[in-house]
Amino acid sequence: MKQRSICKFCGQEKKLIKAHIIPRSFYLDYKHGQYTSVDSISGKFKIQQSGAYDKNILCADCDGKIIGEFDKEGSRILLKEVPRTAIYNNYDKAIYYLAPEHYNHKYLRNFFISILWRASISNLREFDIVHLGEYEDKALKILKGKEEYKNLFKTYIYKYPNGKDYNHFTFIGKSKVANHNAYVINMAGYFIQIILNGKNHPYNEIEQMQNMLVDDKGIWIFESEDLYNQHRKLAHNKMQEMWQKGFKPPFLPKSRI
């Protein structure tokens, strides 16, 4: 009989399951392929399949019936053919607009927050860099529908062009936006930037950046070849650094998106 433990979402003593931190569908080709993870402490690379999961954080009901619904909306919006209007498009940049009737804002916002929350409560070394601190409990209240905290977890969606090798990189990292603490989620060809506390940051004064926030008035998704190349260069430099230390990461598979 499987040992019962406390579920970190509902707080009840239950059988816990293998709960994915980032949904499996956001690891490209997870059904047939593998992905590369990096130990945030040692810097060592390792091959894994089907995405990183933690079997000590969630029960089946909370993972499947609550958080799972947020994951479905995230997958539907980012990975499925959801109607988008290209309001700007040239050879290296594009801006897409998704009208509010085509998505559930609450579920989509909760999808991004839930990934950070799961990473923060997990003891997996792969996500050791994620510590929400005082925002961990606030994130849980948002996910449970007890609070909104509209100034918290301000989110921007950036997309890499299709067919790029580095679209297979899946990780969560720390970031800064005008001295405001933020995290980035890199997954399935997307670069999601989440500002923990968005109150009084300079982006509030820039209309274009305000428009790009994920809210209930519509979603703007910015696709950029330049952004991809910048992040590819940072990833390449990091890999070179690890090679010099003696670590040998496997080659990335070719992207299919």
246: Cβ–Cβ under 8 A, 6 or more apart, which residues? Answer: none
* Rg from Cα positions in the chain: 18
Q: Quick one: average pLDDT of 13-25?
A: 93
What would the two tokens of residue 59 be?
């029960």
- Band (pLDDT 50/70/90 cuts) for residue 96 is very high
Instruction: Give the per-residue pLDDT at 35.
Output: 54
The pTM of this model reads 0.85
Give 137-178 pLDDT, tens digit per residue: 999 999 999 999 999 999 999 999 887 877 777 888 888 888
Give 198-255 pLDDT, tens digit per residue: 888 767 666 667 778 899 999 999 998 888 888 777 666 666 665 565 544 444 444 4
CA distance 112 to 132: 13
Answer yes or no: are the C-beta atoms of 18 and 106 closer than 8 Å.
Answer: no
Instruction: Give the per-residue pLDDT at 50.
Output: 58
In this model, does residue 72 exceed pLDDT 90?
Answer: yes
What would the two tokens of residue 40 be?
């945030």
* Cβ atoms within 10 Å, residue 120: 19
Closest CA to 114 of 84, 73, 156: 73
Q: Quick one: average pLDDT of 120-134?
A: 91
